[in-house]
């Protein structure tokens, strides 16, 4: 697998996550939410609200 293929797979996964996030009945949107939560854990940020 070259870098182009990996980039296309990652872009497709993130696009699918964004589409799922637009559906009100879906509570989580998979890939993007996992990446976001990992980044929050790494930076030590807490959820606002």
Q: State how far the Cα of 42 lies from the Cα of 3, in Å rounded to an integer.
A: 25
State pLDDT tens for residues 1-49.
899 999 999 899 888 877 877 777 766 667 777 777 788 888 886 666 5
The answer to whether the CB of 16 falls within 8 A of the CB of 29 is no
Q: How high is the pLDDT of residue 7?
A: 93
DSSP state of 26: -
Q: How high is the pLDDT of residue 37?
A: 77
Q: Which long-range contacts (CB under 8 A, 24 or more apart) does 33-41 make?
A: none
Q: How high is the pLDDT of residue 35?
A: 77
């Amino acid at each position: 697998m070259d870098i182009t293929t990996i980039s296309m797979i990652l872009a497709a996964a993130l696009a699918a996550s964004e589409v799922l996030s637009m559906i009100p009945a879906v509570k989580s949107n998979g890939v993007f939410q996992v990446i976001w939560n990992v980044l929050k854990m790494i930076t030590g940020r807490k959820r606002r609200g």
